[in-house]
Amino acid sequence: MKSWLRSFNIYLLVLLAGGCQSNGLSMKKDYATLRVYLETQRGSSGGGLVQVTREKIPMYVESQPVLTEEDVAKATLLDNPDGTFAVQVKFNDHGALVLDMTSSSHKGRNLVVFSHFPPRGWKEPKDQDALAAQKTDPNQPRISGWLSAVLIRSPMSNGTFQFTPDASHEEAERIVRGLNNMVTTMNKGDKEK
């Protein structure tokens, strides 16, 4: 029962924080989702074609993510001396185990990262045409995207996953802040039970 309630609360939080705000609620904090998918071969059952980064690199991914924001313990933005940056995600015990098992058995494939990271106060437009127009308008902040593909070279057994997002520094900050807000909110919900 407790795990069902946790899943329901997370689902409700994602609805409020992300794409289903047709009830007029606005976000008071930055929230972000994280979906890490395993690359699959073309034509595999249950997989789908996505276009990764703004360069629209076609990749086939499994239909269900292997890791989500439920598995995140902490996110950090790493700034490098050369001006580049990366997002580092430390997973909780469950996420670390899944990351280790997935990376150990799928060397040579990619882990493909999707995130939904609307800015604070963002409201979803009431109709899908307006949402599509907002997503393609260069003057509007980007709210989601297939951000990166990380080649699995060896087992990732320390529970940490790092990727360089196809995002501006401001967007990466919003993703990290949003993930950490999600973790705080989910942990707060667990303590109330």
**161: buried, middle or exposed (CB in 10 Å: 19+, 13-18, 0-12)?**
buried
Alpha carbon separation from 73 to 96, 125, 176, 181 (Å, rounded)? 10, 31, 12, 11
186 within 8 A of 10, measured Cβ to Cβ: yes
The CATH number for 2-191, chosen from 3.30.1360.200, 3.40.640.10, 3.40.50.1360, 3.40.1010.10, is 3.30.1360.200
pLDDT digits (tens, 9 = 90+) for 142-168: 789 999 999 999 999 999 999 999 999
173 within 8 A of 117, measured Cβ to Cβ: no
Dihedral (Cα; 112, 117, 118, 121), 10-degree rounding: 170
**76: buried, middle or exposed (CB in 10 Å: 19+, 13-18, 0-12)?**
middle
Q: 0.85 cut: is pTM over it?
A: no
pLDDT digits (tens, 9 = 90+) for 54-79: 899 999 999 999 999 999 999 999 99
